[in-house]
């Protein structure tokens, strides 16, 4: 290659390089305005660095220096011919962002990026999220290449806060109180256990078991008898659980098998006897209580039931009373729940 050809090639390369540089310089860059409220604000400087790294032209407005407050972020952004504007929120836990619709200049987006961490906001993470929002909203035009998303370093990454834990799905209630059937003596002291399981809130199923702590006593001319009631049943229940209240309620209805034990004490010269009998019953119960914690609840229970036809109690061949037509109970309970 001759010296004259080398010289010509050098001139052409120089002209091409100058043309590319001039084209790059003439390519319009989107302008982003940042409001800096304090001198030497590291939060604002971090955001400015992240936004500049995307290739935006960054301009600043400094009310602390000029004494002119920024009343409207979008109005100030339009006055500075900015495609977007950013300023810190009053609590300094994040930023407010305004984005204009290109090329009309009308408001396209207004958004807050706030970090409510108890230990204070993560400035780096807020800055990265701000830059990513501008990248996806301003650089999505087909005539501008979309830079790759910036992934925060491992020490700046934050996982989303965990959602609220699921409510309890099952529980065991232990209750104690009085059980009474009119016409069958005085009230009995009764123990009641319930295991409940939600099927699909607010509906569930429950198993009930009840046993006498102290039986009722039925008296007559022929003597007296202690009457104990043993119950095993199943119910369907409906729960009422207001989300912003510690008060809960539950209604249940079902059927049960009741076994009565009658231990007699006869007057002389009659001879005492004991016997047992089993009958079916239908019953309903209503619970109301308050939560101490998510797993512990205290409350009261009312029960009403009926043994069709009742169970007749005989003294010396005479009808001394009838149990179960109807029967009622009032109890206090403690509820242990789990998820």
- For 117-135, how does the pLDDT look when each residue is reduced to its tens digit (9 = 90+)? 877 788 888 888 888 888 8
Domain 170-338, what fold? Answer: Porin (2.40.160)
Determine the Cα angle at 70 with ends 94 and 104, to 5°.
Answer: 90
CATH class for the domain made up of 28-138 = alpha beta
Q: Average pLDDT, stretch 58-80?
A: 86
8 A C-beta contact, residue 294 and residue 170: no
Q: Which two tokens stand for residue 177?
A: 């109180």
- Residue owning tokens 């043993």: 230
- For 227-244, how does the pLDDT look when each residue is reduced to its tens digit (9 = 90+)? 999 999 999 999 998 877
- pLDDT at 193 > cutoff 90: yes
For the chain, what is the largest distance between any 2 Cα atoms, rounded to a whole number of angstroms?
Answer: 148
The residues with which 319 forms a beta bridge, in sequence order, are 314
Q: Which two tokens stand for residue 7?
A: 């010289």
Determine the Cα angle at 296 with ends 294 and 298, to 5°.
Answer: 125
Residue 41 or residue 106, greater confidence: 41
Q: How sure is the predictor about 69, in pLDDT bands with cuts at 50, 70 and 90?
A: confident
Distance of CA 21 to the CA centre of its chain: 57
Q: How far apart are CA 296 and CA 140, in angstroms?
A: 54
Q: Is 66 helix (H, G, I), strand (E, B) or coil?
A: helix
Q: Average pLDDT, stretch 286-293?
A: 93
pLDDT score for 143: 44
User: Would you kindly state where each structural domain of the chain is located, as residue ranges?
Assistant: 28-138, 170-338
Residue 185 or residue 243, greater confidence: 185
Bridge-based pairing of strands 57-61 and 31-35 is: parallel
- pTM of the complete model: 0.53
């Amino acid at each position: 290659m001759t010296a004259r050809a080398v010289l010509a090639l050098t001139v052409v390369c120089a002209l091409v390089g100058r043309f590319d540089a001039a084209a790059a310089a003439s390519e319009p860059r989107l302008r982003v305005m940042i409001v800096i409220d304090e001198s030497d604000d590291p939060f604002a400087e971090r955001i400015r660095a992240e936004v500049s790294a995307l290739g935006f032209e960054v301009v600043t407005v400094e009310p602390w220096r000029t004494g002119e407050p920024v009343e409207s972020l979008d109005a100030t952004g339009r006055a500075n011919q900015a495609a977007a504007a950013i300023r810190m929120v009053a609590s300094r836990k994040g930023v407010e962002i305004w984005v204009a619709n290109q090329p009309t200049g009308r408001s396209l987006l207004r958004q807050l990026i706030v970090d409510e961490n108890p230990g204070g906001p993560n400035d780096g993470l807020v800055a990265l999220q701000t830059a990513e929002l501008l990248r996806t909203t301003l650089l999505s035009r087909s005539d501008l290449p979309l830079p790759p998303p910036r992934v925060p370093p491992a020490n700046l990454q934050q996982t989303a806060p965990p959602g609220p834990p699921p409510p309890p799905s099952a529980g065991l209630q232990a209750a104690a109180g009085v059980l009474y059937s009119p016409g069958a003596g005085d009230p009995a002291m009764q123990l009641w256990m319930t295991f409940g399981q939600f099927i699909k809130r607010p509906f569930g199923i429950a198993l009930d078991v009840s046993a006498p702590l102290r039986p009722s006593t039925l008296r007559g001319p022929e003597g007296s008898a202690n009457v104990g009631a043993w119950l095993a049943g199943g119910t369907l229940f409906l729960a009422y659980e207001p989300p912003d209240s510690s008060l809960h309620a539950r209604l249940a209805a079902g059927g049960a098998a009741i076994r009565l034990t009658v231990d007699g004490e006869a007057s002389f010269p009659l001879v005492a006897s004991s016997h047992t009998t089993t009958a079916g019953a239908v019953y309903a119960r209503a619970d109301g209580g308050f939560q101490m914690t998510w797993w512990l609840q205290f409350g009261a229970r009312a029960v009403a039931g009926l043994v069709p036809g009742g169970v007749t109690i005989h003294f010396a061949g005479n009808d001394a009373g009838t149990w179960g037509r109807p029967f009622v109970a009032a109890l206090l309970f403690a509820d242990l729940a789990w998820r």
